[in-house]
């Protein structure tokens, strides 16, 4: 789809409003942050750019900013890597701006193909005290492991990183802060957070062909998109297409396609609940789920539907907890065999050849009295500053500048790319919802860093095993859960004491 200038200008304005809205939900914008209309160019004409005016105008004589990465995607790009790709162009532009501004060179040190191997190498470098990179990238739970084992310099103690600024993700970072200290922080540089927001995709053809189904966009607008309404539509949307009473993903239409670790946590977090909360007085995490009847009401309400043929397809229970299941689930929705598909928004990148049009919805509310639609995030690649870092001021300046220019260039480019490549089929309707989702992200430590101790008790031991004894199962594991939390908090206390 070719974007006209008027629509693109509106898109960019809306996306910058998204970021402003995020900042406003966390209080007034702090001194030092601004949007400077003078810093525009041909690509961003009419778009106000964020500026961190507290960062010094200094240069580093071509010094390398060394980034330890993992996986197959390149973080540092050359002009040859871009080749007209909107997102790659934005990443390269962000990089080039900073290289020119500070006279630095971005250098990528590829550590490993997998995130666990990258963490192992981060750990080895800590033990041997090798100065290999200025920051090492780890997924959230591995970054937490590095933190509790004293391998990370707190980002909140560095000179130039200011987590109160609008290019940070406050609802995510607030859960990771312990005793007033934030060891690693998420900003808009962390594209995995943006791409990983959970959404409910819906098939528009199935919706239009079924007179019993309501317009979900209107339900959202009317504050009626709830768990019960989603279940009602799942049931009405299921169809035994060939009439053989043998429900398969290849032949029939299912009410919902997803995996259990996508589904159950998204339902309780869409309702604004967490397994782990922070004590309002001490700021320390504690296990709250067992004392919260609403948490169990949600699990009970969704359990029966997960057992219904035609209504709920759980790829992990039917195929196995494998990448093959994830691929099959995505393909099933792509081929028109699901009314709903619950997944991270990045999954739209695999729907470019989908014949049916689709829309995106926020996670459903618990009921109509709930004020906001929440967006679950459960992981994201974090920037960890190792103790071997030779210059914390340099590193914090680069991290802050990366965050600012990511908000200026990467975020608009990601959604522009989503429209250009048919990831996002109806931007006029969807972008407002995406703004709401981005503004109201929610992180549950029991779903992310402590998932094996907490989330998997629900998803694996209950839903996948078809066992609805949620409360008694959690109660039986309470000792392990509390030991996990108290053990990590105690370790972090020792880390903070050693830092003081």
DSSP 462-500: IIITT---HHHHHHHTHHHHHHHHHHHHHHHHHHHHHH-
Which one has a higher pLDDT value, 48 or 484? 484
Query: CA angle, corner 436, sides to 430 and 438, nearest 5?
Result: 100
Residue 457 in contact with residue 473, Cβ under 8 Å?
A: yes
Cα dihedral sign for 465, 471, 476, 480?
Answer: positive
Residue 301 in contact with residue 227, Cβ under 8 Å?
A: yes
Among 18-22, 140-144, 478-482, which is the least confidently predicted range?
18-22
Q: What is the pLDDT of residue 7?
A: 43
Q: Is the pLDDT of residue 39 over 90?
A: no
Distance CA 380, CA 189 (A): 11
Q: What is the pLDDT of residue 15?
A: 47
Among 81-85, 224-228, 441-445, which is the least confidently predicted range?
81-85
Mean pLDDT value across residues 245-256: 95
Q: Is the pLDDT of residue 247 over 70?
A: yes
Mean pLDDT value across residues 474-493: 96
Task: Report CA 34 to chain centroid distance, whole Å.
Answer: 25
Q: What is the pLDDT of residue 267?
A: 97
Q: What is the pLDDT of residue 124?
A: 94
Question: Reduced to 3 DSSP states, what percent helix, strand and coil does the chain have, rounded to the nearest 5?
Answer: 45, 15, 40
Neighbours of 129 (CB within 10 A): 9
Helices of type H across 287-391: 293-306, 315-318, 323-334
Residue 235 in contact with residue 223, Cβ under 8 Å?
A: no
For residue 345, what is the DSSP state?
A: G
Q: What is the pLDDT of residue 179?
A: 87
Mean pLDDT value across residues 383-405: 96
What confidence category does residue 500 fall into, taking pLDDT thresholds of 50, 70 and 90?
A: confident
For 292-310, the pLDDT digits (tens) are 999 999 999 999 999 999 9
For 360-371, the pLDDT digits (tens) are 999 999 999 999
- Measured CA to CA in angstroms, residue 136 lies from 87, 150, 243 at distances of 23, 14, 54
Q: Is 440 helix (H, G, I), strand (E, B) or coil?
A: coil
Q: Is the pLDDT of residue 47 over 90?
A: no
Q: Is 277 helix (H, G, I), strand (E, B) or coil?
A: strand
Q: Is the pLDDT of residue 187 over 90?
A: yes
Cα dihedral sign for 223, 186, 413, 258?
Answer: negative
For residue 347, what is the DSSP state?
A: G
Distance CA 408, CA 85 (A): 17
Q: Is the pLDDT of residue 244 over 60?
A: yes
For residue 390, what is the DSSP state?
A: S
Mean pLDDT value across residues 13-21: 44
Pairing of strands 381-384, 135-139: antiparallel
Q: Is the pLDDT of residue 378 over 70?
A: yes
Among 234-248, 393-407, 433-447, which is the least confidently predicted range?
433-447
Distance CA 442, CA 128 (A): 37
Distance CA 294, CA 262 (A): 19
For 101-142, the pLDDT digits (tens) are 999 999 999 999 999 999 999 999 999 999 999 999 999 999
Distance CA 485, CA 445 (A): 10
Q: What is the pLDDT of residue 45?
A: 52
Residue 171 in contact with residue 442, Cβ under 8 Å?
A: yes
Residue 410 in contact with residue 90, Cβ under 8 Å?
A: yes
What confidence category does residue 46 fall into, taking pLDDT thresholds of 50, 70 and 90?
A: low
pTM for the whole structure = 0.87
What confidence category does residue 458 fall into, taking pLDDT thresholds of 50, 70 and 90?
A: very high
Which one has a higher pLDDT value, 178 or 333? 333
């Amino acid at each position: 789809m070719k974007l006209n200038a008027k629509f693109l200008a509106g898109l960019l304005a809306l996306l910058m409003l998204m970021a402003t809205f995020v900042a406003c939900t966390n209080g007034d914008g702090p001194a030092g942050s601004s949007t400077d209309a003078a810093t525009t160019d041909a690509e961003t004409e009419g778009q106000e750019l964020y500026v961190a005016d507290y960062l010094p105008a200094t240069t580093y004589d071509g010094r390398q900013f060394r980034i330890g990465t993992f996986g197959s995607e390149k973080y540092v790009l050359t002009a040859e890597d871009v080749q007209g790709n909107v997102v790659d162009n934005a990443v390269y532009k962000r990089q080039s701006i900073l290289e020119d501004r500070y006279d630095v060179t971005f250098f990528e040190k590829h550590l490993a193909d997998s995130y666990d191997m990258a963490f192992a190498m981060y750990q080895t470098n800590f033990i041997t005290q090798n100065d290999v990179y200025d920051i090492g990238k780890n997924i959230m739970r591995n970054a937490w492991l590095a933190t509790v084992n004293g391998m990370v310099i707190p980002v909140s103690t560095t000179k130039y990183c200011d987590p109160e600024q609008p290019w940070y993700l406050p609802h995510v970072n607030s859960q990771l802060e312990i005793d007033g200290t934030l060891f690693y922080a998420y900003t808009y540089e962390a594209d995995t957070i943006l791409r990983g927001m959970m959404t409910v995709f819906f098939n528009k053809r199935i919706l239009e062909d079924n007179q019993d189904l309501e317009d979900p966009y209107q339900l959202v607008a009317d504050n009626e998109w709830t768990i019960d309404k989603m279940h009602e539509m799942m049931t009405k949307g299921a169809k035994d297409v060939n009439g053989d009473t043998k429900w398969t993903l290849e032949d029939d239409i299912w009410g919902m396609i997803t995996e259990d670790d996508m589904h159950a946590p998204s339902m309780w977090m869409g309702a604004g609940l967490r397994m782990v909360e922070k004590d309002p007085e001490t700021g320390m995490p504690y296990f709250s789920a067992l004392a919260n009847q609403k948490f169990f009401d949600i699990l009970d309400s969704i359990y029966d539907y997960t057992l219904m043929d035609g209504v709920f397809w759980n790829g992990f229970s039917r195929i196995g907890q494998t990448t093959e299941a994830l691929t099959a689930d995505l393909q099933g929705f792509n081929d028109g065999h699901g009314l709903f598909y619950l997944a991270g928004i990045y999954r739209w990148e695999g729907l470019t050849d989908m014949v049916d049009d689709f829309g995106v919805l926020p996670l459903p509310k618990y009921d109509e009295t709930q004020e906001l639609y929440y967006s679950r995030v459960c992981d994201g690649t974090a920037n960890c500053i190792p103790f071997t870092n030779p210059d914390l001021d340099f590193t914090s300046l680069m991290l802050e500048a990366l965050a600012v220019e990511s908000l200026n260039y990467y975020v608009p480019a990601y959604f522009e790319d989503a429209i250009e490549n048919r990831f996002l089929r109806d931007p006029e309707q969807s972008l407002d919802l995406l703004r709401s989702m981005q503004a109201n992200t929610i992180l549950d430590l029991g779903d992310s860093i402590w998932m094996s101790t907490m989330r998997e008790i629900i998803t694996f031991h209950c839903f996948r095993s078809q066992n609805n004894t949620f409360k008694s199962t959690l109660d039986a594991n309470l000792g392990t859960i509390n030991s996990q939390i108290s053990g990590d908090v105690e370790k972090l206390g020792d880390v903070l004491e050693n830092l003081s």
